[in-house]
Structures are given as C-alpha cells and as structure tokens.
Amino acid sequence: MAREAELRLREQLSRLRSLPLLRGARLSGELARLQRQLDRIVEESSDEEIWRSVELARHPDRPYTLDYVERLLEDWFELHGDRHNGDDAAVVAGLGRFRGRTIFLVGNQKGRDVKERTRRNFGMAHPEGYGKAMRAMELADRHGFPLVTLVDIPGAYPGLTAEQRGQGGAIARSQALLARLRTPVVSCVIGEGGSGGAIATALADRVLMQENAIYTVISPEGGAAILWRDAGERQRAAAAFKPDAAHCLELGVVDAVVPEPEGGAQADYDEAARLLGEAVAESLESFEGVSGEDLRRQRRVRFRTIGQVSATR
C-alpha cells in the first residue's frame, strides 16, 4: 500500500541530494529527517500517529502565515479588503520580496490570543476573504509574479452572512481563477487544510504539505458526527479519513512533504520557516522558464489526473 508514497519520498530525497551545495550545510539534517519519514511511511502511520498529526496541526503555538511571512519575506506589504464588502482578517494577502524577487502571498491566518482569535474568526474565512485572495491572484498574474499560498483553515465559516454573500460560489470562483493563472502557483498546507475553505486557495502547480499538517474533506469531528453519529468518535474518523501528510503524499494529493523541526513546527519557528523557505524556493525554481500557457495546462492536468481510476469495480 505504501509503495507509491515510498517512491515519491525517494524521489524527493534524490532531488534534495542533487541540489547544489550552496543551499547550506544544514541540508544534511533535512535528508536525515526525510529518511526518517521514509522509514515511517514504509511501515504506514498508525492511528495514534494520525491523531498526533491532527493535534500538532492544531497546536495553539504552531506558526501561522504571518510568522512565516516575517521570516521569509522582506518589504512585506499587506493588502486589505475585497473592494466590495469588507476586509476579512482570517485571510492575509500581500506582496513582498522572497530571496530577492517579488512574489504575492495569500494565507489563512489564525489568532494567537483570545482577542486576536476572535478578530481573525479562528481562521475561518468569509467570502470577503476569498475575494481578497482573488485580488492577490489577479495582481500576481497581471504583473507576472509567482504566487505562494499558505493553507491553514479549519473550514469555511459556517455562518448566515457568509452564506448570504455566496460562500459556495466564492470558493468555486477562487479555484476557477487559480486554474486560469499564467504565473507559477505554489501552495503549502501549514496546519489545517480544512475542506472547501482550503482548496479555494490550493489549486496550485505544486502542492506541499508540512510534515504534521492535515488535509481533510471534513473535520474529524464533523465526519464523526455524520458517519458515526457521534462527534466523540473523532479519533476513529481521523484514522479512517487518513488526513496526515504521509497518506496525502501516497494518494498523490500533495507533491512533497516539507520537514518540520524535531517535535513539530511550534518547537522552532526559525527552523520551520527555513525548511518551508527551501521547499518553496525549490518549487519556484522548477517552474522557471516554463511558459504561462504550459503552466496553466499542466496545472489543470495535475488535478485532472489526481486519484485517476483506471479499473472498474
């Protein structure tokens, strides 16, 4: 069962090994971590390990989008508002310099303390948030800058005004816009990749996932409530949904797993940011010289062929 994932990880390993040495001396640590991941995946993650990913992905001290922005981008200029209804603090968008070149960045943003958590609505975006993200996508495309999206959303906000302002349509149109871009798009799930709210900004040329992030069609609690008729069965639901990075890699949903510092990203923000930066830089490099038309076509093919079914039951 784990063979495909193994192949993918091996590919990732060999790619890392072939990187020019100027990437820094600490690359060897990364290799060791990948090797450990590889060992783990060959054995397949246990139910306990999956639940540990869920807990780490939701860890209150886990670095959020702006923690990475602070460490990876210079001259960050944040954009505000969807130019229509308002400014959604659960989504940040802006531009800055990443390793010497201008990029646009969109990310979900949770709050750290009670006040900020409320202000940022626990990271649950409204349609205005997707509107703001779409502004950044359009700007990146118009000016030919790469787009990076960081995904960390428990789910789209289940509220009355969100529905009245067309949440479903907003998520659909955000994906459609990403499918049209002629500029490279790299996404990384950095915490919770919660359902429609997550995929709204994750239709990318390369989709990365941090080692302890999760990517789900429904939260374990929601799935447990519907399928087991008991939200208390969330661990069982998580084990069944397999939202952890190793399984997402195996299923071909993500292209590579970004290692985290020992113990999880919350243990060392700087190191987590460095590792994420390496992965993003490597991804962006791989799209250099590819025409906008080709990028767009390959991006659509990528999603056309995910989980391709060849046989019939």
Site for other proteins, rule CB under 8 A: 156, 158-160, 162-169, 171-173, 175-176, 179-180, 195-196, 198-200, 202-203, 215-218, 222-223, 226-229, 237, 240-243, 247-248, 251, 253, 299-300, 303-304, 306-307, 309, 311-313
Greatest alpha-carbon pair distance for the chain in Å reads: 54
Q: Which is nearer to other proteins, 95 or 213 (CB)?
A: 213
Nearest to 108 by CA among 62, 159, 53: 62
3-state DSSP call for residue 300?
A: helix
Contacts 24+ apart (CB under 8 A), 116-124: 119/89, 120/89, 120/90, 121/88, 121/89, 121/90, 121/157, 122/90, 122/154, 123/64, 123/90, 123/152, 123/153, 123/154, 123/192, 124/90, 124/153, 124/154, 124/155, 124/156, 124/157, 124/158, 124/197
CB of 139 to other proteins, least distance (A): 20
CB of 309 to other proteins, least distance (A): 5
CB of 237 to other proteins, least distance (A): 8
Q: Which is nearer to other proteins, 95 or 202 (CB)?
A: 202
Which residues make Cβ contacts (< 8 Å) with residue 108, sequence separation at least 6? 65, 90, 91, 92, 123, 125, 150, 151, 152, 153, 191, 197, 198, 201
Q: Which is nearer to other proteins, 289 or 307 (CB)?
A: 307
3-state DSSP call for residue 76?
A: strand
Q: What angle do CA 96, 137, 269 make, to 5 degrees?
A: 45
Q: Give CA–CA dist 154/26, Å, rounded.
A: 33
Q: Which is nearer to other proteins, 218 or 275 (CB)?
A: 218
Q: What angle do CA 70, 87, 214 make, to 5 degrees?
A: 55
CB of 72 to other proteins, least distance (A): 25
Q: Which is nearer to other proteins, 120 or 165 (CB)?
A: 165
Q: Which is nearer to other proteins, 120 or 299 (CB)?
A: 299
Nearest to 171 by CA among 118, 121, 135, 125: 125
Contact 280, 98 (CB under 8 A): yes
Q: Which is nearer to other proteins, 71 or 173 (CB)?
A: 173
Q: Residue 214 pairs with which residues in a beta bridge?
A: 192, 244
CB of 59 to other proteins, least distance (A): 21
CB of 168 to other proteins, least distance (A): 3
CB of 246 to other proteins, least distance (A): 12
CB of 171 to other proteins, least distance (A): 4
Q: Which is nearer to other proteins, 136 or 181 (CB)?
A: 181
